[in-house]
């Protein structure tokens, strides 16, 4: 048993060293090919780009450790941004709009938890269904408002919320990211929920026999992911000053890439918040470098696909060494 634990620990540490090496290599390469890379404003942009990924992936990482997935996060984000903007535009106070929008995210999470946890539908199929439904509702609400996007008639409070700087320096999205990291690291290391997540991922049947409410844990994680996706929809729409039903496309894959790159096993039972953060930084740095060098979007999607394949290969190679 001790030997197995030591081997697993060595695998995890090696994977983190590999990820840190990749981050260093990307940083060095981009500093050479992109003169603007080391500007403070650019690093702020990178952090803002990965903020949404990290906030959502903080909970999605725990879900994947249980061997479940959520493909609806990008669509729930888009739906939430649209409904928040619609309410603010039509006179709902911003505080109530945020509360109602986050409640809507919880509802989407509850639908996912019902279909996956209670009805026992495959999580890929179930969350793909809510992915299309949420995106469809986002387009429908935008059309009710009379256009493809909601960008006119929005109050200043709508824009100011997403662009507020804490202490005059820190964007609100980055503050929420730091809070999400702290909360989910604590959950992972210090709480019963964290222990239950790893137990379910290691062996769901054994976890159930030991008295763990497997359906309850998985349902709770889906609800948390829905809430965080809605919050990110509010933050993103406010920061850019408009809401569009087509935002967040492929966000689910960015989240999955960050999680898998970070060392979370798709077979369950293994993973960490810290590793996910490193994976998200790799995704963010790669996207930033491609944008700085004017690489077209369709080439960027190719790079994301290669990143995902590479993440799985790295994970397999490191685990095979054990």
Q: Could you report the per-residue pLDDT of 136-192, keeping only the tens digit for each? A: 999 999 999 888 899 989 999 998 888 888 877 888 999 999 999 999 999 999 999
In a domain, 219, yes or no: yes
How many domains does the chain divide into? 1
Residue 305 belongs to some domain of the structure: no
| 40 contacts: CB under 8 Å, gap ≥ 6 | none
Q: Is 279 a member of any domain?
A: no
174 close to 51: Cβ distance less than 8 angstroms = yes
* Residue 5, pLDDT score: 47
Residue whose token pair is 């992915």: 131
For 173, the domain range is 43-248
Digitized pLDDT (tens) for each residue of the chain, 322 residues in all: 454 444 444 555 677 888 888 899 989 988 888 888 888 888 888 999 899 999 999 999 999 999 999 999 999 999 999 999 999 999 999 999 999 999 999 999 999 999 998 899 999 999 999 999 999 999 999 999 888 899 989 999 998 888 888 877 888 999 999 999 999 999 999 999 999 999 999 999 999 999 999 999 999 999 999 999 999 999 999 999 999 999 998 899 999 999 998 989 888 888 999 999 999 999 999 889 888 888 888 888 888 888 878 777 776 766 665 5
Q: Report d(CA 263, CA 194) in Å as an integer.
A: 17
Residue 23 lies in a domain: no
Both tokens assigned to 50 = 């990965």
The pLDDT > 70 percentage for the chain reads 93
Query: For the packed helices 273-292 and 2-33, what is the interaxial angle rounded to 10 degrees?
Result: 20
Q: Is residue 160 part of a domain?
A: yes
Residue 301 lies in a domain: no
The answer as to whether 314 is a domain residue is no
Q: Is residue 253 part of a domain?
A: no
Q: Collapsing DSSP states into helix, strand and coil, what is residue 133?
A: helix
Q: What is the pTM of this model?
A: 0.92
**What digits encode the pLDDT tens for the residues 100-110?**
999 999 999 99
pLDDT tens profile 215-234? 999 999 999 999 999 999 99
């Amino acid at each position: 048993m001790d030997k197995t634990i030591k081997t697993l620990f060595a695998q995890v540490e090696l994977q983190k060293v590999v990820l840190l090496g990749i981050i260093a290599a990307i940083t060095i390469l981009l500093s050479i090919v992109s003169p603007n890379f080391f500007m403070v404003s650019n690093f702020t942009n990178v952090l803002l780009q990965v903020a949404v990924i990290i906030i959502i992936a903080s909970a999605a990482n725990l879900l994947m450790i249980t061997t479940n997935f959520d493909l609806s996060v990008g669509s729930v984000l888009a739906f939430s941004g649209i409904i928040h903007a619609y309410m603010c535009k039509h006179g709902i106070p911003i505080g109530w709009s945020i509360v109602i929008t986050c409640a809507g995210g919880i509802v989407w999470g509850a639908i996912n938890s019902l279909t996956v946890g209670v009805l026992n539908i495959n999580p890929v199929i179930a969350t793909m269904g809510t992915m299309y439904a949420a995106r469809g509702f986002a387009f429908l609400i935008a059309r009710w408002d009379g256009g493809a996007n909601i960008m006119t008639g929005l109050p200043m409070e709508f824009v100011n919320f997403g662009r507020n700087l804490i202490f005059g320096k820190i964007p609100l999205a980055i503050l929420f990211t730091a809070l999400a990291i702290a909360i989910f690291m604590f959950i992972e290391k210090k709480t019963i929920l964290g222990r239950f997540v790893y137990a379910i991922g290691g062996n769901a049947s054994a976890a159930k026999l030991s008295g763990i409410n497997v359906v309850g844990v998985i349902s709770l994680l889906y609800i948390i992911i829905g809430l965080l996706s809605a919050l990110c929809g509010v933050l993103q729409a406010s920061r850019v000053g408009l809401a569009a039903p087509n935002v967040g496309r492929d966000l689910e894959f960015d989240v999955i890439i960050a999680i898998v790159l970070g060392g979370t096993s798709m077979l369950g039972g293994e993973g960490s918040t810290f590793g996910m953060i490193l994976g998200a930084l790799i995704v963010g740095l790669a996207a930033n470098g491609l944008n700085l060098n004017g690489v077209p979007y369709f080439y960027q999607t190719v790079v994301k696909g290669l990143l995902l394949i590479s993440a799985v290969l790295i994970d397999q190679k490191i685990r095979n060494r054990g």
